[in-house]
Amino acid sequence: MKPKILCVDDEANQRRLMANYLRKQGYQVFESGGGEEALVFLEQEPCDLILSDMKMGSLSGKDLLRELRAAHQQIPFILITAFSNIDDAVEMIKMGASDYISKPVNLSELLMKIERLFAQDQLKRENELLRNEVFQANTGHQILTQNSQMLSLLDMVARVAKTDVPLLILGESGTGKEMVARSLHEFSSRKKGAFIPVNCASLNPGVLESELFGHEKGAFTGAAQAKVGRVEMAQNGTLFLDEIGDIPLDIQVKLLRVLQEQEIERVGGNRRIPVNFRLVSATHKDLESAIKNEAFREDFFYRINVVSAKIPPLRERPEDITLLTTHFTHLFANKFQIPLKGIAPEAMQQMRAYDFPGNIRELMNIVQRSLVLSGDGWIQRFDCPCEESLKKEGTKNQNWLKSIPNLELPAALDQVEKELIQRALNQFKGVQTKAAEHLGITERNLRYKLSK
């Protein structure tokens, strides 16, 4: 529905002139002959904007604004004032008025001020909505890792966050690229601004341009009103372009210009709008190969790739599989109010044997599904396509056992133990604490066996 405007003026002709003009523009307009009448009307009919004359009867425009602000009503307020009262208008701006316009009223100028106010109000509301979405998305989903590569990456992200340089996050789908981007935003001085995510792969080129830059009313068929784009919504915050490798070349050119000039033009418009945001990009594609194939612009690549961070896939972070499985199990048990009894050791072994082509996103879905289907909160087997991985592991183990010489049991067990210890040390790059945890023994016991 169109916004509601209340015109307040004790001069009937002036009031009706403005009201009829705004009605022709499609707004819902109500009229009031004075400040006191306006306060009574607003108790019955909330409005989105008040357009008020300065001098009126017993309750002036200034008094009306003071009454509204004292009642904590933050309704946008445009003051109509004579040229000689400009100083009063400036004082009212300090009191909380949104804008003012001088008499005689230029109706086109008035319309421009009203549309700008509503666009700013829409931007504030959308940013608040996105902040709420960010809060909900992050609740209980902090980045958890014991992997040395991931810890180094997060340390680097924290350092980069102190600057405004663009960050390019690389990694397979489901590794947590958006989580890393959100972490950078929360570490940065822009954390009070909005974090605006855009999935570039999910939008066709025509829609993507409008989503990024917004459009003016009538810019194309169906554009019934102006729309604020995601770049504007990221003002003083962070713009996250996920799957940036899927952006068409012509939009890459426009984004490059935005990054260079720090201003945009909406689709169908010619007004330059200043923007100030931090860019974080992500992709699972090889952009350097895309440049060679002329599918990605080299100048745009260097602009977004000031600093890059590559997230290792989950199969290269085996110590995180146990950590994340346990975390998501407790998270979803609380969410679905399922009394959690625990995870059977063979079930956890099954998870560790799986290579997770869908990475953390797949692990999370598997845990959620398995917990719900368990019924009693005791997870004995994860509902995941681990069979092929287990078969490969079993075949590998059988081949390895066949390679062991035909020894007596004690000697054979010593050889198996030595092989497993060596494998664990290789996996964790000689870190004995992690190798011992992986093997299920104490670090002291591991040192004894190594000495032996």
Mean pLDDT of the region 258-264:
93
For residue 270, name the pLDDT band (cuts at 50, 70, 90). Answer: confident
Confidence at residue 233, expressed as pLDDT on a 0 to 100 scale: 93
Phi, psi values for residue 16, rounded to 5°: -70, -35
More confident residue, 162 or 137: 162
Distance CA 99, CA 78 (A): 5
Residue 314 has pLDDT above 60, yes or no: yes
- R_g over Cα of the chain: 31
Contact of 326 with 370, CB cutoff 8 Å: no
pLDDT of 122 reads 65
Instruction: Tell which phi-psi region holds residue 409, choosing left (phi > 0), alpha (psi between -120 and 50) or beta.
Output: alpha
Q: What's the whole-number mean pLDDT along residues 340-358?
A: 82
Give phi and psi for 387, each to the nearest 5: -55, -45
Report the amino acid identity of residue 172.
E
What percent of the chain stands above pLDDT 90? 36
Could you check whether 4-119 and 316-384 share the same CATH topology?
no
Beta partners for residue 307, in sequence order: 167
Whether the predicted pLDDT of 323 surpasses 80: yes
3-state helix, strand, coil split of the chain in percent (to 5) is 55, 15, 30
Return the structure tokens found at 46.
């909330």
**Per-residue model confidence as pLDDT tens digits over 366-392:** 998 888 887 777 887 776 655 444 444
- What phi and psi, each to the nearest 5 degrees, are found at residue 76? -55, 140
State the pLDDT confidence band at 83, using cuts at 50, 70 and 90: low
Q: At what angle do helices 345-353 and 387-403 cross, to 10 degrees?
A: 90
Return d(Cα 245, Cα 203) in angstroms, integer. Answer: 13
Q: What is the mean pLDDT of the chain?
A: 83
What is residue 408's predicted lDDT score, i.e. its pLDDT? 65
| pTM confidence score | 0.57
Please tell me the CATH code under which domain 404-452 is placed: 1.10.10
**Fold topology of 316-384:** Helicase, Ruva Protein; domain 3 (1.10.8)
**CA nearest neighbour of 357 among 125, 120, 174:** 174
β-pair type (263-265, 272-274): antiparallel
Identify the weakest region by mean pLDDT among 206-215, 257-266, 315-324, 343-352. Answer: 343-352
Q: Quick one: average pLDDT of 117-124?
A: 70
Range among 42-56, 202-216, 217-231, 285-299 with highest mean pLDDT value? 285-299
Q: Work out the angle between the directed axes of helices 345-353 and 318-335 (0-180°, nearest 10).
A: 120
Q: What is the domain class of 145-310 according to CATH?
A: alpha beta
Fold of 4-119: Rossmann fold (3.40.50)
* Domain boundaries along the sequence of the chain: 4-119, 145-310, 316-384, 404-452
* Bond into 357 cis (ω within 30): no
* Predicted confidence (pLDDT) at residue 84 exceeds the cutoff of 70: no
